[in-house]
Amino acid sequence: MSPSPRRSKEREIVKYVLLFVDDEQFAQELQAMSQTERERAYERVRQWMADNAHVIRGGNKLQGPQTATTVRLGGGEPIVTDGPFVEGKEVVSGYLEIEVEDLDAALRMVRTWPGCPIVEIRPVES
Amino acid sequence: MSSSRELSHGELAHVVREHAGKLAASLMYVTGDFATAEDLVQDAVLAALERWPVDGIPQQPDAWLLTVARRRGIDLLRRQANYRSKLAQLEHLIQPEPDDRLRLIFTCCHPTLSREAQIALTLRVVCGLTTAQIARAFLVRESTVAQRITRAKQKIAAAGIPYRIPDDDELAERLNQVLAVIYLVLNEGYLSTADRVHERDLVDDAEWLASLLHQLMPTQPEVAGLLALIRLHRARDAARFGRDGSLILLKDQDRSLWDREAIQDAIALLSRAARQKRPGPYQLQATIVACHAEAPTFEETDWEQIVLLYDMLLGLAPSPVTRLHRAIAVRYTSGPRAAMAELDALADAFQAYHLYHATRAELLLELGRPDEAQTANRQALALTANPAERAILQERVALS
């Protein structure tokens, strides 16, 4: 009894992308940590990844926003600018592709995420 | 068919409410698709609202609604791959289990939907309101409600919002979402009864939803608490309005018009819930209303107890509105000066809330500051559009 039209027949699954978002405060907190504290924080993230490895299908941590280039193709010559597409205090810092049974399962997983303060859950179009 | 005597809005709403959610739950079995089931129910409800006032309510309203839904459903299902097997299912529709309406409610009130969407979906799918009725009740445009519902249904399908009762470890939080939706329906209905132009009484819908939820989840004390709260309000309905439809404040109400039996029943319901020793904001609010309902006169109200209950409520669910209500109770335990001090502390939060200014005006008058009271009453008047409340405030401004 699934309200989702895009579940595969064999297994009840939905594909989501998790977008991880950092903000300034988080960056500062990370900066202020001692070497051991930081290693412990990374270890918590590694542990979370290991715990959820069975549903993770791919993903990456991204380099910082200062490395981003944005191209706008709004008619005429494409405009190339330095920096991310929205200049703001919140920046996408990574993404994961997951396959879980429904949005509740994705929410459960994200609730225990030990890293950056914001995560967007977006279903994948098939 | 029953005789085609004049049907009241209340009767019509009652029958639709009893059957709409059940039909939606049955159709979920067949279509497996929330949006399709929801559309079919809405079509059937619209057809019923058109035909029933003319033809009378059919002997078997559920069969009547199903026939309409089936006719529409065939067109919709034809476009789907396994059309024949689904069509067969539609012919022998499975009677929904009681729990199915619960699944429906939890899907409508999923925390990943906006509160407005949760309310609109619940009223449409579970209570069988039309988009137009929801729009009129909440004083928003019909197109706005329609868009909210369309978006929410798209999200339910595309984002994989499940159709099931939450697991035990999530139940408390998810139930809070449902209770908040019912509470907001109650509030909207309670305020809008003031102008009595609505064909659909939202307080009826709130009570019906709470009662259904209580029947399906009898061991949840907060559900019982909310139901008791709604019933305690309703029990005093007859005294809330004068002959001319004007609002009568609690202290001026004729308490002999209160439904004592309904009050005692609601208090019994609340006491049974309290035995579980799992207090919560709805049980506490109901207990506060019960204190008022049990007082023989306004002067004999147990204000000490009420202030204590507000303290407990603030401990569980801190909110400026609750602090404002507590300040009003403090007026009767510790006098207007103490209450005024409480209000002053809330000034920043409430510059745009009419009840804050109206309460302040009353206290200022008691403290012998009539000019400031007049200003406060005018501020309150400028901040509310509710006709019944405006009438009272206009009278106060004129009298001083």
The tens digit of pLDDT for each residue in B49-95 reads 999 999 999 999 999 998 898 888 877 777 766 666 666 666 666 67
Cα B114 from Cα B81, distance rounded (Å): 33
Q: Select from B29, B112, B161 the Cβ nearest to the Cβ of A3.
A: B161
Do B205 and B17 contact (CB within 8 A), yes or no? Answer: yes
| A:B CB pairs within 8 Å | 53
What pLDDT score was predicted for residue B200?
64
- Which is the CATH superfamily of the domain at B302-400? Tetratricopeptide repeat domain (1.25.40.10)
In CATH, the architecture of A14-123 is 2-Layer Sandwich (3.30)
Between A3 and B294, residue with greater pLDDT: B294
* Strand partners of residue A69: A82
A6 to chain B, closest Cα gap in Å:
8
Positive or negative torsion for Cα B129, B131, B132, B133: positive
pLDDT for position A8: 38
Q: How far apart are CA B184 and CA B193, in angstroms?
A: 14
Banded model confidence at residue B369, pLDDT cuts 50, 70, 90? very high
Which chain B residues are closer than 8 Å to A14 by Cβ?
Answer: 159-160
Q: Is the pLDDT at A5 greater than 60, yes or no?
A: no
Instruction: Report whether pLDDT(B198) > 80.
Output: no
Q: What is the pLDDT of residue B243?
A: 80
- Work out the pLDDT band at B3, boundaries 50, 70, 90: very low
Q: Sketch the domain layout of chain A as residue ranges.
A: 14-123
Residues β-bridged to residue B264: none
Chain B residues whose beta carbon lies within 8 Å of the beta carbon of residue A106: 160
| Distance in Å, alpha carbon of B166 to nearest chain A alpha carbon | 9
Name chain A contacts of B158, Cβ cutoff 8 Å.
Answer: 4, 6, 123, 125
Contacts of B28 in chain A (CB under 8 A): 1
Question: Band of the pLDDT at B29, cuts 50, 70, 90?
Answer: confident
Residue located via tokens 């069509």: B87
pLDDT of residue A6: 39
CB contact at 8 A, A26 and A116:
yes
Closest alpha carbon within chain B to A111: B170
Which is nearest to B103 in space by CA: A104, A16, A8, A123? A104
Instruction: State which residue of chain A sits closest to B33, comparing Cα positions.
Output: A3
- List all residues of chain B from 85 to 114 with a beta carbon under 8 Å from chain A: 107, 110, 112
- What is the number of other CB atoms lying within 10 angstroms of the CB of residue A3? 24
- Give me the helix-helix angle, B221-235 and B202-216, nearest 10°: 150
CB contact under 8 A, B162 and A103: yes
Share of chain B above pLDDT 90, in %: 68
Residue A96 has pLDDT above 70, yes or no: yes
Q: A92 touching B, CB under 8 A?
A: no
Check CB contact of A64 with chain B, cutoff 8 Å. no
**Is it the case that residue A7 has pLDDT exceeding 50?**
no
User: A4: distance to nearest CA of chain B, Å?
Assistant: 5
Closest chain A residue to the Cα of B28, Cα to Cα = A1
What is the predicted pLDDT for the residue at B298? 95
Question: CB contact, 8 Å: A4 with chain B?
Answer: yes
Q: Does B158 contact chain A (CB < 8 Å)?
A: yes
pLDDT at res. B31: 79
Q: What is the mean pLDDT of residues B150-170?
A: 93
Digit-coded pLDDT (tens) for B101-122: 999 999 999 999 999 999 999 9
Domain boundaries, chain B: 1-96, 98-217, 227-298, 302-400
**Chain B nearest-CA residue for A125:** B158
d(C-alpha B174, C-alpha B166), whole Å: 7
Asked if the C-beta of A50 comes within 8 angstroms of chain B's C-beta atoms, the answer is no
Region B165-170 average pLDDT: 91
Q: Which of residues 303-362 of B touch A (CB under 8 A)?
A: none
Distance from CA of B94 to the nearest CA of A (A): 14
Q: Is the pLDDT of residue B5 over 70?
A: no
CA B98 to chain A, closest CA, distance in angstroms equals 16
Nearest-Cα distance to chain B for A107, in Å, is 9
Q: Which amino acid is at B229?
A: L
Q: B97 in helix, strand or coil?
A: coil
Q: Work out the widest C-alpha separation in chain B, in whole angstroms.
A: 79
Largest pairwise CA distance in chain A: 52
Region label for A58, one of left (φ > 0), alpha (ψ between -120 and 50) or beta (otherwise): left
